[in-house]
Chain A
């Protein structure tokens, strides 16, 4: 049987939970689906689990705060289906989902995508070797499994997340072999104009600075403005090489390398239904164009959380509430003016330091050359050199290059190569990244088995 809910929320992270709680408060009965087996999203992954004190303390109070929201979410009585994937949205908001291998269809009046963000692909030579993971992955392992790297770990990249993770790792008894900071020279200077606005988000910034001070005091090996990072090994990661700001080349043995170059909104859902998107220069990423309530250019389709543009957990909670209020009004029930004003004020406050953070940790642009032997498309195993060769002949953009190379045709649907192809083509064509754009997104958004799809034909649309 198909879902009969008027409102479908996809994602049970901060934004999805906040929206569900608000909608319940306003008297609605939404359906919330999520890929994970428990609420929390990535930031509050597995947050409901009781933990030994040492691990709880290591993960810190901001993480622990998620338990309260998850508790309210559970207590709201919302219809919540974990382990459920959304794999297609058809025009008219017909949504295809699967739970435990069974496909079903929802036709809500309002659809809220609270599908969050993913880490920006950080392609370097050797990044497909076992032993190379993302920083976000390592943090998820720590939250979900109480699992940390066995030996001192190398961390490379840029952004607030590596700093947070290193602090958590060290607090949990792990060790960092070295932090290879790839933030380019001059970023801090370019961030200065944003400082005034950022001071309103001072608490966040101060936290980050304090973590970094503590890590340094603990003897953390940091290299600044690192370039030419290469992971090497045959069957697995064995060594790293990199160049430091003084121009010297280094080579070190390594068992685990964690990469991070910031996070980008999950846009596959909104791209797949042709929502209007804007290129966010500061974050070097696409985000859906949204109205004040988070509604996209497609009637009834809303986005909240980092999927609306990277702004962090506090903003996600506020955006979730606002989207819920917008959906409620759309379905004929206004939220109180005070509640709306409260959510808007919270969103403003939560977003204050974002411009500063974006400038301090800029995304690698099209001017940073990706070496020819770097794998760009992890699924089809295509290199930057192969993409460049295709781009010399085929000037029609990402979709043409995809057609002739197969880049982006694998199961990840371009999630790991889309922005890299964008960078390479921008450089090859002499265009801006905004003009080059992204792949056309082909359904299914997540692979679905032939029998799951076939069951829809036979009318077996359980559960």
Chain B
């Protein structure tokens, strides 16, 4: 039997980040991953590092995360391929412009200065070749994007260097409370830990149900397309108001196209299936955004399996039914940017027994208390 202070279920980026912060704080940490590190959402991520257009409830955590991204190598010893070339969301009608202007004004009134409005001329300077029909954009200049696999490799290496014991190919079969400790049975044997962190992504609600906690959750399978390599020409990540498209150029030169276009999924088989009719709409939006890319070839498409909550906010906080169990999952397709800060917040919560203020919107209790609409 292994007896770490903390046992983490799930070897995605959120599990790794929590593990890293906990181990740096002096805890002994074991991490169990059913398949391999980054098998699902983390390895299939578009790796957008975005505050732009985020739910204001996420902004306090997200702003902290953004600061960490700007010095990410201090945390994990590698820049994770992060480049702060901005993110922008373009619009084509005056009505859309007015709505975005009001949204950004409200953000500023709340003290968030991450977004600015830019006019068409500035937009064309930032995105040469953009279709004339787009008349302006909201722009978050310090946002950017990273390389998902490099990020995984860096967080994994940093966590291991900090002393985290990583067990891949080790799913959890049983979880039970035994006095003041948890007993966990897995393919890597039996563990006894004071605290357990549920970082199981799309399967987070299933792990919660092992202790009888019901958290409403669906899943999503956001699809991505990647093209052949072209010379560097697009710096910011571009999305379109009201359309499912995000459009960016990776450091390799490929165009990475996503934006939440949904494929199909099967949680039991741990598989996703692409829907090319839906992807065609994404390709169409990309051609409309920048007609010069029409002839580029799509080399590869994929999707990842990710948890989706009813309010599209993650569940980060203590279990509502069991002491010593903490959740961090359900990021609903926009968790990548939050990785460094969420891990730090989880570590703080485990160490102090209380979630920090930045996590208050994400309590699991929001789904179980009656005043929250079902």
Q: Which positions in A face B, CB cutoff 8 Å?
A: 88, 90-91, 96, 274, 394-397, 399-400, 403-404, 406, 409-411, 413, 442-444, 447-451, 453-458
Contacts and interface: CB of A to CB of B under 8 A. Distances in A.
A453 B276 contact: yes
Contacts of B277: 456-457
A77 to B, nearest CB: 32
B167 to A, nearest CB: 11
A88 B279 CA distance: 12
B301 A442 contact: yes
B168 A443 contact: no
Interface in B141-184: 149, 152-153, 168-169
Contact of A411 (B149, B271, B273, B299): B299
Interface centre among A90, A91, A449 (most CB of B within 10 A): A449
B284 A443 contact: no
Given A88-B276, A396-B35, A411-B228, A458 B284 contact: yes
A450 B300 contact: no
Contact of A447 (B43, B271, B298): B298
Nearest to A272: B274
15 contacts: A90-B274, A395-B169, A396-B35, A396-B39, A403-B38, A403-B149, A403-B152, A406-B149, A406-B252, A413-B299, A444-B300, A447-B228, A450-B287, A450-B294, A451-B283
B266 to A, nearest CB: 11
A396 B169 contact: yes
Given A409-B300, A442-B301, A451 B36 contact: no
Contacts of B152: 403-404
B36 A453 contact: no
A400 B152 CA distance: 11
Interface centre among B153, B228, B274, B280 (most CB of A within 10 A): B280
B299 A410 contact: yes
Interface centre among B169, B287, B294, B299 (most CB of A within 10 A): B299
A454 B168 contact: no
Contact of B36 (A90, A274, A396, A458): A396
B293 interface: yes
A457 B299 CA distance: 19
Nearest to B160: A393
B297 A449 contact: yes
Given A396-B35, A396-B36, A450-B294, A457 B284 contact: yes
Contacts of A450: 227, 283, 286-287, 293-298
Interface of B: 35-39, 43, 149, 152-153, 168-169, 226-228, 252, 271, 273-277, 279-281, 283-284, 286-287, 293-302
A454 B294 contact: yes
Nearest to A103: B280
A6 to B, nearest CB: 22
B36 A400 contact: yes
Given A447-B297, A451-B295, A453-B279, 9 more contacts: A90-B274, A413-B299, A442-B301, A444-B299, A448-B297, A450-B298, A454-B283, A454-B294, A455-B280
A399 B270 CA distance: 14
B274 A443 contact: yes
Contact of A453 (B252, B271, B283): B283
Contacts of A397: 36
Contacts of A454: 280, 283-284, 286-287, 294
Contact of A90 (B226, B276, B281, B287): B276
Nearest to B291: A451
Contact of A451 (B43, B169, B276, B287): B287
A404 B299 contact: no
Contact of B276 (A96, A274, A396, A404): A96
B284 A394 contact: no
B280 A457 contact: yes
A411 to B, nearest CB: 5
B294 to A, nearest CB: 4
A455 B37 CA distance: 37
A90 B294 contact: no
A217 to B, nearest CB: 49
A442 B273 contact: no
